[in-house]
Amino acid sequence: MRQSQLFTRTRKEAPKDEVAKNAQLLIRAGYIHKEMAGVYSFLPLGLRVLEKINRVIREEMNRIGGQELLMTTLQSKELWEKTDRWSDEIVDNWFKTELKGGSEVGLGFTHEEPLTNIMRSYVNSYQDLPRLAYQIQWKFRNEERAKSGIMRGREFLMKDLYSFSTSEKEHETIYEKVAKAYETIFKRLGIGDITYRTFASGGVFSKYSHEYQCLLPVGEDTVHVSKEKRLAINKEVMNDEVLNDLGVSEDELTEEKAVEVGNIFSLGTRFSEPLGLTYKDAEGEDRAVIMGSYGIGPSRLMGVLVEAFADDAGIIWPKEVAPFYVHLVSITGGNAEVEKEADRVYEMLQEEGIEVLYDDRDARAGEKFADSDLIGIPVRLIVSEKTISAGGVEMSTRGNGKGTLVAESDIIERLHAK
């Protein structure tokens, strides 16, 4: 895409009330727009990143047999009363509104209830199980404080997968399969090494649940980590019993700040029982379905990636989620030959199917480089009088600014090799 056509531009400053680094950088670079605290629109560059994160998640969910659906935002009171989660005293972050005629409805903050209800139409016998169903859908949570940019939204995107099993044993197998898929996702997003499966409070149906905690100073959570053993314990559940269960001693652990980027829960029959989701076993007996739920927040992850990789000059996107792979920057200084050469490189990259943002604007070199640093596209190609007379283009990566001259005929090969 030609940057001269992109409707956003970089901005010198984010709104004054924006304190989070992720939102400041994303706003300044033109990725998002703040509508109100914790509520952000995704501008063209931002939507591209978000969709790429979604694609990674979707691929890994499909690989383990997840079937994608899309449930609604509007939620009927009757359904949530059955599980005792309608009352504001029990769930304190509902947004609620009213249909014409007076019926109260809520805005989905999670979707166990509606999916369990949907599955009642489709699960009869043990032969209909196990099943994995997921969606990537906006959630609404009426947060008191929303100061972490897109890392804690009142309106935020969530991938929520739910599993439906006949037995605890079958459930455990699925739970571990999802855990593996989550590790693959975080690895693909470039945060595999700083993200830990973390023991957390389990609720009624299992001793522990697991969070995926990404170690970042900006995190709101505190975890105790063993980097050698690749395990972590949420401070909230840290005690002698947990240490004993995991076979670690306290002095192996260090305390760190972290951001929760995913969580996986065993739900047992917490939802299937009150909502009547049962199956007939091989003997024809009715049994309640065993469930699990597994969340990852794509919009939060986008903020985490900014926090994890940005430097003083701006954002540094991992290749897999960058809005474009290449930032082609022309420094024409009014020389039409340079423009022609840059246009030719642009067309060549497009023909090769390489995603490229082409800074074809009539602007000073310093401004273009500063914008490019801020936007954070992985590979930069510079076309200027200097590079043309040296016989090629200058190639550098966003993390490591050092440029090398590459002959035009070698560009594609070099890009594929990266």
Exactly one of 16, 17, 70, 228 binds a second copy (CB under 8 A); that residue is 70
| CB within 8 Å of 305: residues ≥ 6 apart | 189, 190, 191, 317, 318, 321
Exactly one of 19, 90, 99, 390 binds a second copy (CB under 8 A); that residue is 99
Backbone angles phi, psi at 371, to 5 degrees: -65, -40
Exactly one of 25, 29, 43, 322 binds a second copy (CB under 8 A); that residue is 43
Exactly one of 35, 59, 176, 285 binds a second copy (CB under 8 A); that residue is 35
Number of residues that bind a second copy (CB under 8 A): 55
- Shortest Å, Cβ 38 to a second copy: 9
Q: Which helix (H) or strand (E) holds 42?
A: strand 39-42
Of the two residues 66 and 392, which places its CB atom closer to a second copy in the complex?
A: 66
Residue keyed to tokens 């314990």:
233
- Shortest Å, Cβ 232 to a second copy: 31
Quick check: 140 binds a second copy (CB under 8 A)? yes
Q: How many whole angstroms separate alpha carbon 211 and alpha carbon 255?
A: 16
Give the chain's length: 418
Question: ∠ CA(113), CA(265), CA(50), 5° rounding?
Answer: 80
**Are 272 and 192 contacting, i.e. CB atoms less than 8 angstroms apart?**
no
Of the two residues 321 and 406, which places its CB atom closer to a second copy in the complex?
A: 321
Exactly one of 24, 83, 110, 142 binds a second copy (CB under 8 A); that residue is 142
Closest by alpha carbon to 260, among 147, 111, 148, 151? 151
Question: ∠ CA(71), CA(76), CA(80), 5° rounding?
Answer: 95
Q: Which helix (H) or strand (E) holds 39?
A: strand 39-42
- Shortest Å, Cβ 215 to a second copy: 30
Exactly one of 23, 50, 225, 232 binds a second copy (CB under 8 A); that residue is 50
Closest by alpha carbon to 253, among 225, 227, 229? 225
Quick check: 97 binds a second copy (CB under 8 A)? yes
Q: How many whole angstroms separate alpha carbon 12 and alpha carbon 51?
A: 26
Quick check: 131 binds a second copy (CB under 8 A)? yes
Rg of the chain (C-alpha set): 25
Quick check: 344 binds a second copy (CB under 8 A)? no
Quick check: 52 binds a second copy (CB under 8 A)? no
- Residues 2-31 contacting a second copy, CB under 8 A: 5-9, 11, 30
Exactly one of 12, 16, 100, 416 binds a second copy (CB under 8 A); that residue is 100
Quick check: 208 binds a second copy (CB under 8 A)? no
Q: How many whole angstroms separate alpha carbon 102 and alpha carbon 97?
A: 9
Backbone angles phi, psi at 312, to 5 degrees: -60, -25
Closest by alpha carbon to 270, among 284, 299, 241, 290? 290
Quick check: 40 binds a second copy (CB under 8 A)? yes
Window contacting a second copy (CB under 8 A); options: 60-68, 194-202, 216-224, 316-324 = 60-68
Quick check: 374 binds a second copy (CB under 8 A)? no
Of the two residues 214 and 275, which places its CB atom closer to a second copy in the complex?
A: 275
Quick check: 69 binds a second copy (CB under 8 A)? yes
Q: How many whole angstroms separate alpha carbon 157 and alpha carbon 50?
A: 9
Exactly one of 154, 197, 224, 380 binds a second copy (CB under 8 A); that residue is 154
Amino acid identity of residue 258, one-letter, is A
Q: How many whole angstroms separate alpha carbon 189 and alpha carbon 318?
A: 7
- Shortest Å, Cβ 4 to a second copy: 9
Window contacting a second copy (CB under 8 A); options: 38-46, 216-224, 235-243, 367-375 = 38-46
Amino acid identity of residue 102, one-letter, is G
- Shortest Å, Cβ 7 to a second copy: 5
Interface ranges with a second copy (CB under 8 A): 5-9, 11, 30, 33, 35-36, 39-44, 46-47, 50, 65, 67-76, 93, 95-101, 105, 107, 114, 118-119, 121-122, 128, 131, 133, 138, 140, 142-144, 154-155
